[in-house]
């Protein structure tokens, strides 16, 4: 890995080794995996609780989508600032501070008695995750030696995230069957336990030297505003005039342009634009954006289909989607073997092709489909996630200077969350437009069919982008620039 002589000291305890993690390294990884597990379980539990929240708080489909999108907009909008803050103010410090904020606002969401309060609570929780997650990822990428050791840690880390999502589907269903508010209170307990473990296991380290450096607030504000406006433009497209949609879209693009101009001139930019000259990093981020858009959009429509058209309970829906969680077992077991043999780029491409296949299999879903008919789509999607998620993380951070690991992690998670927000907004807009005012089962089914084209197209685009990284030898192809 290329580092400068002024690179900040490593912030974790693992000693360099040929792929083996020592006892202290496992302790640090345990805490960080706990945090990413928390993030996964939090999102998954809310996903299956959405219909119950709608019924209790009287929210429309558009408002309901914002319970999810507020989180991912806060997450994606502030992720770049979070990654930069980790590099400037200390990874451990940022991790602990924002884990505490995550805990507090998760609890606030449980007490919400109207849609706007819940949406605000989810937005702030997303902002907290935006600072906490890149800090945790950069502790791994700076504390474990690049190569087999770091790859092993990252694949375990991504597998844990997948485990959080799959377990969250079941736990969320069980908790929602009692009261949907428990999907917010449960993360409070888990956050507290992780916080205590982090204080004990993640060692302190000197603050990085910030001489001549500062936080690029203008850059953070413009990129966040751009993300919010772009998502809002897509979400409102189905139920506002063309003029309003185009004006909102134009405003988002203007802010995005201002962000780029700001970064070019800033003495200490939020994003050093030179990092985007790495072809592998750019491909990984674009692939992540479209992959996340398809994945979250598909989950949203699948839950609505099972709950609102088929009338399945939250527990039945959770158990139906649980098979997607096979990625929790495959990410740390099968994926490393495939990466060793074929390289990250080829494994990612295979995962994205399988994602497109999964959505294609579900596209002709009918009003009376059996679970056996749905199962192939869900199992293939779980396999696709296990192949794509971890290797994308490796490609996006490999070869990046140590002092910019927080930035690299922030870019990747911004892509994931921005993609998720756009995916949710797009499938919602298409679903609402295709369903119309008719609430009949056939109208609902027509809406789902139209919306399911979105994840299929997104996965196809992601696979096409990743295909440009297949040049070279298997192992080298993963990081070719």
Phi, psi of 180 (to 5 degrees): -60, -20
- Rounded distance, CA 369 to CA 417, Å? 31
Segments of 164-215 assigned E as strands? none
- What pLDDT was estimated at residue 233? 77
Q: Strand, helix or coil at 393?
A: helix
Query: What is the reported pTM?
Result: 0.78
Total residues belonging to the chain = 481
CATH code, residues 272-472: 1.20.1250.20
Class in CATH terms, 22-203: mainly alpha
Which one, of 116, 64, 69, 132, lies nearest residue 296 by Cα?
69
Residue whose token pair is 């060692």: 203
Structure confidence at residue 236 (pLDDT):
66
Q: Where are the domains of the chain?
A: 22-203, 227-271, 272-472
Per CATH, 22-203 and 272-472 having the same topology is answered: yes
The pair phi, psi for residue 42, each rounded to 5°, is -65, -50
Residue closest to 459 by CA, chosen among 300, 345, 352: 352
Residues 6 or more apart from 154 whose CB is under 8 A from it? 140, 141, 390, 393, 394, 397
Question: First and final CA of the chain: distance in angstroms?
Answer: 14
CA distances in angstroms from 429 to 111, 239, 352, 366, 476, listed in the order given = 29, 8, 24, 21, 41
Quick one: which of 476, 441, 158 has its CA closest to 310? 441
What does the pLDDT read at residue 78? Answer: 80
CB atoms within 10 A of CB 58: 10
- CA distances to 153, 289, 394 from 280, rounded to whole Å, are 20, 14, 10
**Per-residue pLDDT, 452:** 96
Enter the tokens of residue 16. Answer: 């360099």
Q: What does the pLDDT read at residue 80?
A: 77
Sign of CA dihedral 337, 339, 343, 346: positive
Residue 29 near residue 12 (C-beta atoms within 8 A) = no
Neighbours of 459 (CB within 10 A): 30
d(CA 338, CA 349): 12
Asked if residues 53 and 303 have their Cβ atoms less than 8 Å apart, the reply is no
Among the listed residues 260, 212, 208, 255, the one whose alpha carbon sits nearest the alpha carbon of residue 231: 255
Mean pLDDT, consecutive 10-residue stretches, the chain (481 aa), reads: 38 45 78 87 82 85 77 76 81 91 92 90 91 86 77 81 76 84 91 92 70 70 82 67 85 92 82 83 94 91 90 84 84 86 93 97 93 95 91 86 77 82 84 80 91 96 93 47 35
């Amino acid at each position: 890995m290329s580092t400068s002589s002024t690179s900040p000291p490593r912030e974790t305890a693992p000693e360099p080794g040929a792929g083996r993690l020592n006892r202290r390294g496992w302790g640090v990884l345990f805490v960080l995996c706990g945090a990413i597990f928390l993030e996964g379980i939090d999102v998954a539990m809310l996903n299956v609780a959405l219909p119950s929240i709608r019924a209790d708080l009287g929210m429309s489909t558009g408002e309901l989508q914002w319970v999810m999108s507020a989180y991912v907009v806060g997450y994606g909008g502030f992720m770049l600032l979070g990654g930069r803050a980790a590099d400037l103010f200390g990874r451990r410090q940022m991790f602990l501070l924002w884990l505490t904020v995550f805990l507090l606002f998760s609890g606030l969401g449980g007490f919400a008695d109207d849609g706007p309060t819940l949406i605000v609570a989810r937005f702030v929780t997303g902002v907290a995750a935006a600072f906490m997650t890149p800090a945790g990822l950069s502790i791994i990428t700076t504390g474990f030696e690049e190569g087999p050791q770091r790859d092993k840690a990252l694949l375990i880390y991504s597998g844990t995230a997948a485990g959080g999502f799959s377990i969250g589907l079941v736990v969320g269903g069980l908790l929602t069957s009692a009261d949907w508010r428990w999907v917010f209170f449960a993360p409070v307990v888990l956050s507290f336990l992780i916080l205590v473990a982090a204080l004990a296991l993640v060692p302190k380290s000197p603050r990085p030297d910030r001489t001549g450096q500062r936080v690029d607030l203008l850059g953070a504000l413009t990129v966040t505003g751009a993300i919010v406006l772009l998502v809002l433009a897509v979400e409102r497209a189905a139920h506002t005039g063309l003029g309003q949609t185009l004006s909102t879209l134009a405003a988002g693009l203007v802010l995005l342009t201002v962000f780029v101009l700001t970064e070019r001139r800033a003495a200490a930019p939020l994003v050093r634009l030179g990092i985007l000259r790495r072809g592998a990093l750019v491909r990984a981020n674009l692939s992540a954006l479209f992959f996340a858009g398809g994945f979250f959009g598909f989950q949203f429509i699948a839950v609505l289909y099972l709950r609102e058209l088929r009338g399945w309970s939250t527990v039945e829906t959770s158990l139906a989607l649980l098979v997607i969680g096979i990625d929790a077992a495959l990410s740390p077991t099968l994926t490393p073997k495939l990466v060793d043999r074929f390289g990250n780029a080829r494994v990612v491409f295979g995962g994205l092709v399988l994602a497109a296949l999964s959505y294609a299999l579900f596209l002709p879903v009918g009003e009376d489909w059996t679970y056996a008919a749905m199962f192939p789509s869900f199992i293939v999607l779980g396999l696709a996630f296990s192949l794509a998620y971890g290797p994308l993380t490796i490609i996006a951070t490999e070869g990046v200077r140590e002092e910019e690991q927080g930035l690299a992690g922030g870019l990747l998670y911004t892509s994931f969350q921005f993609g998720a927000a756009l995916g949710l907004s797009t499938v919602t807009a298409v679903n609402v437009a295709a369903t119309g005012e008719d609430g009949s089962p056939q109208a609902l089914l027509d809406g789902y069919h139209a919306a399911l084209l979105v994840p299929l197209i997104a996965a196809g685009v992601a696979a096409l982008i990743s295909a440009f990284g297949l040049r070279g030898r298997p192992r080298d192809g993963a990081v070719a620039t």
